[in-house]
Amino acid sequence: MLEEYRGQQINQRSMLDEANIRSDVLVSGRVVELLGDVNELSVLELGSGNGKVARMLAQRGAHVTGVDLIQEQVDIASANSPRGIAYVQADYAEVKLPELLQGAKFDRVIAVMAFFYSGSDKIAQALVNVKKLLKPDGVFILGTASPYRGLKKDGFDYFQEQESDAVLPSMTNEPFKTRYVHLPLQDLLTQCLAHGFVLSRLIEPHATAEELQRYPQILSEEDLLRPDYLILEFKAPK
């Protein structure tokens, strides 16, 4: 699954700062909006990929650190980002991640589609890291696939954690093929709450009519009617 993700992402290097797939519009863009004024704030992005979101935040004055498991992604991000963004090659669920980040604490931690590829065990360890890395008054924002998207498939067992295929339209006209891990919403929320995070906002992003006109290759009328994504905002554990 990781290799499929790696291949698809590396092939998109020509779309570094443009919306290429639906989640760029409906998740990445929404998370940046939700963060609001980040000027002079420290932001950690888990699963930073080619640095698209990190650059958006840096342009708004944030001090950004990106963590990604794939070295090629780190190299692409580093080569195409301004000074002031630090990238670290590491697994965001690595037990030693706080140590690798030299004990830094962040005002904001975000995971934009990163947990999309992770099962419950890996998410649990990632949340341990987020708890250690977030300042006491910090905010954690998680953007991922809606657990309900699998219900469109005949015979789909919503309550079972499972890998599932996804084929998404892209601006390059080459379908974005990947696999993701489905978790029931109750499982995802229970994990976050069990680690002490306080849910402050739940958003089911859907396309606007303006976005539908702007991105007809990747958005459709269905995106006006139902959410395929989920954004959760949490306050730091007390």
Asked if pLDDT for residue 15 goes beyond 70, the answer is: no
DSSP calls for 5-47? HHHHHHTTGGGTTS--BHHIIIIIHHHHHHH---TT-EEEEES
Q: What DSSP state is assigned to residue 170?
A: B
Asked if pLDDT for residue 13 goes beyond 50, the answer is: no
> What's the pLDDT score for residue 20?
67
Return mean pLDDT, the chain.
Answer: 86
Residue 43's Cα: distance from chain center in Å? 13
> What's the pLDDT score for residue 103?
92
Cα angle 141-144-148, degrees, rounded to a multiple of 5: 130
Percent of the chain with pLDDT over 90: 59
Domain at 174, CATH number:
3.40.50.150
Asked if pLDDT for residue 125 goes beyond 90, the answer is: yes
Is 224 or 137 the better-scoring residue by pLDDT?
137
Asked if pLDDT for residue 131 goes beyond 90, the answer is: yes
Is 14 or 232 the better-scoring residue by pLDDT?
232
Asked if pLDDT for residue 171 goes beyond 70, the answer is: no
Q: What DSSP state is assigned to residue 181?
A: E
Structural domain that includes position 196: 2-235
| Sheet strands side by side (includes 86-89) | 86-89, 63-68, 42-46, 106-112, 134-145, 229-235, 198-203
Query: What is the pTM (predicted TM-score) of this model?
Result: 0.88
Asked if pLDDT for residue 3 goes beyond 90, the answer is: no
Count structural domains, the chain: 1
Q: What is the pLDDT of residues 150-161, one digit of tens each?
A: 777 778 899 999
Mean pLDDT check: name the lowest of 2-11, 147-156, 183-192, 216-225.
Answer: 2-11
Q: What is the pLDDT of residues 38-92, one digit of tens each?
A: 999 999 999 998 899 999 999 999 999 999 998 988 998 999 888 789 999 999 9
Q: What is the pLDDT of residues 104-117, one digit of tens each?
A: 999 999 999 999 88
Mean pLDDT check: name the lowest of 104-108, 149-153, 166-170, 192-196.
Answer: 166-170
